[in-house]
Amino acid sequence: MTIQWFPGHMAKARREISEKLKFVDIVFELVDARLPISSRNPMLDKVLQQKPRLVLINKADLGDPQQIKLWEKYFTNQGYYTLAINAQENKCIKEIIAKSKEALSEKMARDQRRGIKPRAIRAMVIGIPNVGKSTLMNRLVGKKIAQTGNKPGVTKGQQWLKSGKELELLDTPGVLWPRFEDQEIGKKLALTGAIKDQLLHLDDIAIYGLSFFTRYYPAVIKKRYNLTDEDLTLKGSDLLIKITKNLGLNDQYDRASERVVLDIRQGKLGSYTLDRYEEESGEGHDEA
């Protein structure tokens, strides 16, 4: 299976982000707790350069708690401020503001020494599809989206969105899409729903997901699909065929594939993280 997915507006999004970067104090980079590395855009570092960054590991309720802790430590070691959140919860607002103040503490102290009047923190939210950017934006600004007034950027057709008195968000340009040549990353994005199902073969994605869970969470799929220890030794399509029969779907492998993929996406197989820290980070497990 080869996944090709290179939307044409990526270059435009990159250019617009570069133009708007000068108007913000900090960038919120949103990643998926189930794939903290694979859900990042490799172009991002060049675009953002030295701009202060807060990496928000979203959907923490769906990710493996132990892996999330390791990835938090990893991003921190990379020099980024990091926070694991669930954008569905209101408490993330206070957490994000507090961490932003921490990241900008030197700038705020410098402004104070210069007699510059304190103002709200200005931020930009960036993330690939399906990491929860819209959910976070809605959570931060609430249902009422208000333009905050005559500030840099507004005259260029950009809108500042208010989040209480301490945070303002610059309405972001088109999202950055991932550009991947590693098919493993494509499969991970497909399994979590970041790629349209029409672009891939669902049975391939189901088989990939089953292989992953067999390796890292065997007890979960054993229970979910009534499998034996011997069944777990089956590889590829053989395991999918066995599960199809156990689900009472006879030879309807497409339906079984859809069931497996939806089970994984909807969290019916529990929390999981596809990007394993010990394999993806390039760091030894003990270093975290």
**With 80 as the cut, is the pLDDT of residue 63 above it?**
yes
Q: What is the mean pLDDT of residues 191-196?
A: 84
- Domain check: are 131 and 226 in the same one? no
Q: What is the mean pLDDT of residues 117-130?
A: 89
Domain count, the chain: 2
Is 90 labelled a binding residue? no
- Domain check: are 160 and 219 in the same one? no
Q: Which helix (H) or strand (E) holds 29?
A: strand 26-32
Is 31 labelled a binding residue? no
Share of the chain above pLDDT 90, in %: 56
- Domain check: are 159 and 42 in the same one? yes
> What residues contact residue 230 under an 8 Å CB cut-off, 6+ apart?
none
Is 60 labelled a binding residue? yes
What pLDDT, in 10s, does the model give residues 3-47? Answer: 555 555 667 777 888 888 989 999 999 999 999 999 988 778 888
pTM score: 0.88
Is 130 labelled a binding residue? yes
Give the per-residue pLDDT at 152: 44
Q: Would 95 be classed as within a structural domain?
A: yes
- Domain check: are 21 and 119 in the same one? yes
Give the per-residue pLDDT at 154: 40
- Of 153, 170, 187, the residue at which a domain comes to its end is 170
Q: Would 187 be classed as within a structural domain?
A: no
Q: Which of 83-87, 212-216, 248-252, 284-288 bottoms out in mean pLDDT, i.e. has the lowest?
A: 284-288
Contact 184, 275 (CB under 8 A): no
State the Cα–Cα distance between residues 259 and 273, nearest whole angstrom. 19
- Domain check: are 21 and 161 in the same one? yes
Is 20 labelled a binding residue? no
Domain extent, residue 20, equals 10-170
- Domain check: are 117 and 209 in the same one? no
- Domain check: are 103 and 223 in the same one? no
Contact 216, 276 (CB under 8 A): yes
Give the per-residue pLDDT at 33: 97
Is 61 labelled a binding residue? yes
Is 244 labelled a binding residue? no
- Domain check: are 17 and 103 in the same one? yes
CA atoms within 13 A on the CB side of 45: 6
- Domain check: are 161 and 239 in the same one? no
What pLDDT, in 10s, does the model give residues 152-180? Answer: 444 344 578 888 889 999 876 566 666 66
User: Which CATH number fits the domain that encloses residue 43?
Assistant: 3.40.50.300
Is 214 labelled a binding residue? no
Is 132 labelled a binding residue? yes
What is the pLDDT of the chain when averaged over all its residues? 85
Q: Would 55 be classed as within a structural domain?
A: yes
- Domain check: are 14 and 154 in the same one? yes
